Chain A
Amino acid sequence: MKVTNKYWIHLLLVVVTISTVGPFIWMILTSLKTYEETIQVPLRWLPDSFQWLNFKIVNEKYPFIILYRNTIVVVVATVITQVLFASMAAFAFARLHFPLKNTLFLLMLSLLMVPGQIFLIPHYQIIVNLNLNDTLTALVLPHMFSVFGVFLLRQFFAAVPQELEDAARIDGCSNFRIYWQVMMPLVVPGLVAMAILTMINSWKELLWPIIVNSSIDKMTLSAGLANLIGEHTTYYEQVMAGAVISVLPMIVVFAFFQRKFVEGIAQTGIKG
């Protein structure tokens, strides 16, 4: 493409990047200050000396290995179940014809339109009745059902050309084979997008893990770190240290995955 175009593209992207990376750098700098340096008025850019020990302090309070392990287990389980169940339903809503289809879809969509917090206490009561409170299972169970995912994937499934489906039916494929072998490979971008978004939401979830779990060894990252925000005093340098530790690996994972994701798409060679 033309050179001037590339210039513009880089310029715009740099501006965007500054708005996202800039704050992140500030977070890192704050995590390396002393408490007084963080609350100092007027603003203080750089700490006098890097307080690496903030990270040590936070880790001693909230063992990161355990929080990470829990978060990863919960996130992976949530993503797999959500994508599986949602893709099945999305396929049905997009490609199959059955009674009450539109009513059911509308009903499900309504669930997205109420504040999520109305489900907190009912979920808690269900989990307590199942005697599953203070477990990792409790963190996954209510979240295996994603209406958002059904909605997202329905768009992708609907966009698959009818001819492909017809060809498969003529070949005598069952619905399940059409779903699994024909459609799923074609909606991979949608699946990946849903997986990433589910992963992000599960990662950041705060209120539910705090309410349903109590022991620190059943806590997730964001729930564990929320303890650093106190009633009267918040040690900002510790909160930032915690935030940095939790974000860094995600960035690494994403950087790694998105390259694979693009290569993967190129290889599936979507037929136009």
Chain B
Amino acid sequence: MAKRKKYDYSAFLFIAPILIGISIFYLYAFVRNIYLSFNDVGVFGERTFVGLENFRKLMEDPIFKRALLNTAFYAGVGVPLIVMLSVCIAWLLNQKIRGQSFYRTAIFIPAITLPAAIALLWRWLFNSQYGLINYFLAWFGVEPIAWLGDPDTVRWSILIVLVWAAISYMVIILLAGLQRISSTYYEAAQIDGANTWQIFFKITIPLLTPTIFFVTIVSMIGMLQVFDFIFLMIRVDTASYRYAVSLVTYFFETSFTLNQRGYGAAVSVISLIIIFAITAIQFRLQKRWVNYD
């Protein structure tokens, strides 16, 4: 095949609708947001240029530093958990067993439940005196744990909810990826006498790597941008808030609750740089482990 490829300008027709839409609705706001981070911005847009002042303040902001740490925690611990568990569960759901439809529908439930309901639900489960989790732990003689109230445990509690909700989404994507793997591979392997483990590790996983790569990127971006559940489950004026707050939660609090739009924009810009860097690294690394046909 000839290595020198000609440019195919008709491609622009294909990307036109999305490119036009993005330019109108997203591009201007995106660039303006970066500009705002160099300003002190009031609620209704009144602004004064302050250069790097917002960023300097951020470097000294203890809550921002904690937000960075917390977000790193959610991403660093959450993503591997999500990917591994989702792959396993998706594989389980792909096996020909009775009740497959029921199980698949069950895993779908967290994804379609309104976040407000999920937050209420887990707040109840985590309640230190009357929650279900401590209730069961008490059977094993474990002292009640203040899942949400104790600054030392609150990160883990949030992580559990995030992973629980994210798996629901990722399993759907992975199931789709699994469908792509032709059954001829499996048949050939079974003829060769391979057992379940071997099939899983030597055939399924390698062929699933494009989808796994996608799920890794998406859950990484999702975890780095986590917001809803923290905001809904932990009140801002509690002591454990700062031990759970994420970058985006802090952004929202700064921009919308405290009305400091410029400072908030600075938070979002730092967030963008970090996520961009991590994603770029992941893309670089994909050549090592992702198999495209």
A residues neighboring B (CB under 8 Å): 1-2, 5-6, 9-10, 12-13, 16-17, 19-21, 23-24, 26-27, 41-43, 84-86, 88-89, 91-93, 96-99, 101, 104, 108-115, 117-119, 122-123, 126, 141-142, 144-148, 150-152, 155-156, 158-162, 175, 179, 189-190, 192-193, 196-197, 200, 203-204, 206, 222, 225-226, 229, 236, 239-240, 242-243, 246-247, 250-251, 254-255, 258-259, 262, 265, 270-272
Cβ–Cβ contact B271 & A161, under 8 A: no
Q: What are 19 A-B contacts with C-beta separation under 8 Å?
A: A6-B97, A9-B97, A13-B93, A16-B103, A26-B124, A43-B135, A89-B17, A96-B11, A98-B8, A104-B19, A111-B26, A117-B248, A144-B21, A175-B8, A204-B115, A247-B112, A251-B112, A254-B112, A259-B101
Assembled-state Cα–Cα distance A21/B109 (Å):
7
The answer to whether B210 has its CB under 8 Å from any CB of chain A is yes
Assembled-state Cα–Cα distance A160/B210 (Å):
12
Assembled-state Cα–Cα distance A16/B104 (Å):
10
The answer to whether B14 has its CB under 8 Å from any CB of chain A is yes
Residues in chain A near residue B285, CB distance under 8 A? none
Contact of A5 among B24, B164, B196 (CB under 8 A): B196
One of B57-65, B73-81, B151-159, B169-177 at the interface: B169-177
Say yes or no: A92-B272 contact (C-beta < 8 A), given A193-B173, A258-B105. no
Residues in chain B near residue A272, CB distance under 8 A? 182, 184-185
Residues in chain B near residue A113, CB distance under 8 A? 221, 224-225, 271-272, 275-276, 279
Cβ–Cβ contact B15 & A122, under 8 A: no
Extra inter-chain contacts (12) besides given A119-B29, A156-B210, CB under 8 Å: A9-B95, A16-B106, A23-B122, A24-B109, A96-B11, A117-B256, A144-B21, A159-B293, A190-B176, A206-B116, A222-B114, A229-B116
Contact of B9 among A98, A115, A271 (CB under 8 A): A98
Cβ–Cβ contact A193 & B92, under 8 A: no
Cβ–Cβ contact A254 & B108, under 8 A: yes
Residues in chain B near residue A161, CB distance under 8 A? 293
Q: Would you give the shortest CB distance from A172 to chain B, in whole angstroms? A: 15
The answer to whether B255 has its CB under 8 Å from any CB of chain A is yes
Complex interface bits, B121-147 against A, C-beta within 8 A gives 1, otherwise 0? 110110101111001000000000000
Category for how many chain B residues contact A: 35 or more
Complex interface bits, B251-293 against A, C-beta within 8 A gives 1, otherwise 0? 1100110000000010010011001100100000000000011
Say yes or no: A110-B276 contact (C-beta < 8 A), given A150-B18, A197-B173, A254-B105. yes
